[in-house]
Every structure is written in structure tokens, then in C-alpha cells.
Amino acid sequence: MSVITRPFQRMTLAGKIIVPLLLLGLILTVLLLVGWEMGIVPALINLVVDVVSSNIDIIRFILAATAILLFTVPTAFVIIFMEMKVIAFLAGRIGPNRIGPWGTLSSAIHGFKVLAKEDYTPTGADGVVFTVAPIITYLSAVLTLLVIPFAPGLVGFDMNIGLLYFFAVSGLTVVGLMMGGWSSFNKYSLLGGLRSAAQIVSYELPLVLAPVGVIMLAGTLSLNGIVQHQSGWFWNWYVFQQPLAFLVFFIAATAEGNRTPFDLTEADSEIVAGFATEYSGMRFGFFFFAEYVGVFVLSALTVVLFFGGWNSPIDPRPILDFFHITIAPSLDLASLDIWLLWGLIFGVPLVIGVLTFALWTFNSSWGFLKSLVVAFVLFNVFAMSVTIIWAFLSFEVVVGLFWFLVKCFTFAFIFVWMRGTLPRVRIDQLMGFAWKWLVEISLLNAFVTAGAILLVQELAR
């Protein structure tokens, strides 16, 4: 055994991790190949397909819920990192640049820091309500993603009343904030919760009334249907047909998401932190994870209602037809059959080996293990890039997802930009603007849109 253990003990920590993983991958690949040839793997695949087919609705719900929950965490981290870097740029600072390349892991470390802090429950607080409040606030933001169409066919649940569901579930946020302020057994937290409730309830009205014109134009409450009605060129987007509704909706969404200049729910310039004064640890983190997820959710809804959703700004079909360009059909990997498996077993290690030898020869100061690691990383980067390009050219859902995310993070950038630029308004200005201006403007826009639709119908007769 010393012949095997002695070289292993002399390896670096990276070698002790990588070499066993490579051996494990090789063994699993051989077992998969043997199982395929003996018919065991195809039989298991057929069994899984039968089970999934007979329970497709349950499987779809579980996968959609799991995917949405997993999607929210990195999304929050990306927006947190964006906020740190953009505000630093606006203030003439460098921003986070120590943890990870260009500081990209800073927001993740902040998340772990919150997770590691003491989770304290104040004396006299209602422990159950105090614990449940941040969970309700977080889930009310997450569950709204269930009806957001990310791309053609990529939606958790395409409800014909999707917009109504969105506003109903997002309204639960005020319940969580009130629960947090009341259960803390702190008069400042209670006042902060009441102020939060007043703000969210007030701006919920213009937020709901603003899209009424869009609903009348699209003739549906389905978010998927609203996006489909905006297909084609960018001038088909509802922002050009409902500019006033978009302006009202964006202002109300800013207040609904507790973003500057309407971030009175937190009010971190005051001595206390509003409804969250008594919170610490991960329960505190849930409240503000919900805020950053809410930034993405409100950006996504704005894109769906007014900016064409997953539709690209231009319609490429007439351009491709004019130049007689046809996109090749997607590669049928199933047609490769067993050759695909042989290529993974022998082709990938061969390419990595050749690349390792080339790097080792080119840079004699590198050891063989370092050259192997670099070659492995380079191969995977190249393979992922080729796969992404192939998927972008072959699948409509990938193109739609790309445009949707570009638009969403553009609005997330605008929210961050506003935080680094605008001052916070007073509470009386906040409430007066909602009740004296936004509600009336949104109602006026709905009446004008209805009148215009009736006029067009009469002229078309």
C-alpha cells in the first residue's frame, strides 16, 4: 500500500481533492457504460420516465417551487453586489475588490456573516410571530415569481388571472412587516411597522390601477398573454401606448419595494431601524433578502407589463428572410447514441491531456498538476461558451431568457442608481403624493384608455 499512499501523501491539498474526484468520475463513467451495454441504464430511464409522466403535475410544481427558491438566493447576491459597486462608482470609490475576482464574492460573504450572527429574541416578544414574520415577508416576494414568464414556456404556472395572483400574494408583505413590528414588544418597532403598512397599502392602489390600461389593451390578466401581445418590434411594447401608466407604475413600484427615495420602512438615517429594530441574525437577513428579491420581482413585472417581457427589441425574422439566412436546426444529441458516451470517456480526457502537455511545455515553471488544473478549467470554459452559443442559436427559450434578464437587471441597476442619487422624502410627502396624485392619475389613465378603445372600435365599424 505504500506505493499508493506515499505519492498521495506528497500531493498538495488541491491534488488530494482533484485526483480522487477524477478517479471517481472515471469509475462512474465505466459503470455507466457497462450498465448501458447491459440494458440496465435504459431500463431505469424508462422507469423514471413512466413515473414522471403519470405524476407530471406534481413533479412540475415541485420543480417550479424548487427552481424559484434556488433562483432567488443568487439573484439577491447579484443585486447586493451591484448595489455595492454602483454606489461606490457614483461616490468615486473603488468598492469591494478583495474577496473573489473584482470583489464578486463580497455579497456572498455578507450573507454568511448574517447567517453566523447571534439570532436573538428580545424578552417579552411573541416568539412564534417574531420568527414567522420574516419568513412571510420573504415568501410573499418569492411566490410572486411563480407566475412571471421568463421565456416562452418557461413559467412556473401560467394562470389566466396571473396579474391578480401577483398583486394578491405581494400584498402579504404588509402582513409580515406588521407582524415583525408588533411582535417585537418595542414601541419604536410597532410605530415602524405601522408606518410600513401605511406606505405599502397607500402605494398598492396606484400599483394595481396603473396596469388597468394594459389589461384593456391586451384583453387578458395572464402575464404570458400580455407578453405575447407585445411581440414583434419594440414599438409594440405597451410603454409606448401607456407611458403615463408606466410612470405611475414605476413610482409606485419604487415605494412598494421600499427603495430610495421612498425607503421609509427602514429609515436607516434614524436612531432605530423601523420594524426591524429588534431583529438580528438570519431573521434580520430574511427581511432584507426579501427587499433585494423584491427589486428583481418588481423589475420583472415592469418588463412583462411595459417592455415586452422576453421579446427582443427587433423582430429578426424579416431581416433573416431579406438576406435569405436560415438558422440550422438544433443538434440531435440522441442520434449520436453510444458514440456520445465514448466521446465523453475518451475524447474529453484526450483533449485535456493534450492541452495539459502544451501548457506544461510552454511554461516550464509550472508543475504537471498545475498545468492539469489550468487545462481542465480552460476546457470547461471553452465547452460552456460553445454550449451557450449553440443553445442561443438553437432554442427560442434561451434567447427569450437572455432578453428578459437583460431588461430586468437594467431596471435593477436603475433602482440602485436612484439609491445613490436621490434623498429620502418625508413621510407626509410620501403619503400625500400617493393619495393626491398617483391614484387620480392612474384612474384618469384608465378612463382615457377605455374611451380611446371605444372610439377606435366605433371608427372601425
Helix (H), strand (E) at residue 76 = helix 56-90
**Whole-number Å distance between alpha carbons of 102 and 411:** 23
Q: What is the pLDDT of residue 304?
A: 94
Nine cell digits for residue 105: 464574492
Q: What is the pLDDT of residue 165?
A: 92
Neighbours of 124 (CB within 10 A): 10
Q: What is the pLDDT of residue 270?
A: 67
Q: Which residues of 278-298 are buried (b: 16+ CB within 10 A; e: fewer)?
A: bbeeebbbbbbbbbbbbbbbb
Closest by CA position to 252, among listed 198, 319, 199:
199
Which parts of 93-146 fold into alpha helices (H)? Answer: 106-116, 127-142
Query: Amino acid identity of 387?
Result: T
Q: Looking at the DSSP assignment, which residues form a beta bridge with residue 151? A: 154
pLDDT < 50 regions, the chain: none
Closest by CA position to 396, among listed 70, 223, 150:
150
pLDDT in tens, 69-123: 888 888 988 999 999 999 999 888 888 888 877 888 888 888 888 888 888 888 8
Q: What is the pLDDT of residue 113?
A: 85
Neighbours of 166 (CB within 10 A): 25
pTM: 0.79
Give ∠ CA 30-369-353 in degrees, rounded to 5.
50
The SS3 of residue 184 is coil
Q: What is the pLDDT of residue 344?
A: 67
Handedness of CA 17, 23, 24, 26 (dihedral sign): positive
Place of cell 420543480: 63
In the chain, what are the helix, strand and coil shares in percent, each to the nearest 5? 75, 0, 25
Polymer length of the chain: 461
Neighbours of 342 (CB within 10 A): 12
The SS3 of residue 269 is coil
Handedness of CA 255, 259, 260, 265 (dihedral sign): positive
**Whole-number Å distance between alpha carbons of 268 and 368:** 54
